[in-house]
Amino acid sequence: MIPNLISILRLLLVPVIIGLIANGEWRLAFYGFIAAGLSDALDGYIARAYDLRTELGAHLDPLADKVLLVSTFVTLGLLGLFPVWLVILVVTRDVMIVGGILLAWLLGAPMAMKPVALSKLNTVAQIVLAGSALGVKAFDLDIPAVLSYGGLGVMALTTASMGVYLVQWLRHFPDETP
């Protein structure tokens, strides 16, 4: 119950963070983003340590991550901190994952998409890049290489993760040709 509540609070924090970014309140947005990231670690720890894992939590936690990251990437992209191609790539990957799960369900072959290690690394890289962008703005830092190289790293991990999920999805459906 407590881990699910933390995930819900993280979801509710997203519009606050996005509003702070949109209003140029960079430090508050940075601290809010850090709080959201720490809450992600906290709810996972509590769920594992106290055996409080639930089916709802298994869906809420990644949903909260996706909503936070996609919203932050889109907002930072609209403000010119991230290139449009990177925002499109990040959003496309998440839409592909959710769409693949929904399509499999609609086709009567539901599948559980368990995150693979590469996907977890990708999520961490996206969090670090978004947090770094907020930190650069919050503390008026002049380190463009962090965002440039971080963006390239996120591009590589996002593309690779997308490929892994696509292969999993295709393997889930056997070839139906006669």
DSSP states along 13-73: HHHHHHHHHHTT-HHHHHHHHHHHHHHHHHHHHHHHHTT---HHHHHHHHHHHHHHHHHHH
* Residues 3-46 pLDDT 10s: 999 999 999 999 999 999 999 999 999 999 999 999 999 999 99
Q: How far apart are CA 87 and CA 112, in angstroms?
A: 26
Taking residue 75's Cβ as centre, other Cβ atoms within 10 Å add up to: 20
What is the value of pTM for the model shown? 0.92
The percent of residues in the chain predicted with pLDDT above 90, rounded, is: 78
- Domains in the chain, CATH or no CATH each: 2-172 (1.20.120.1760)
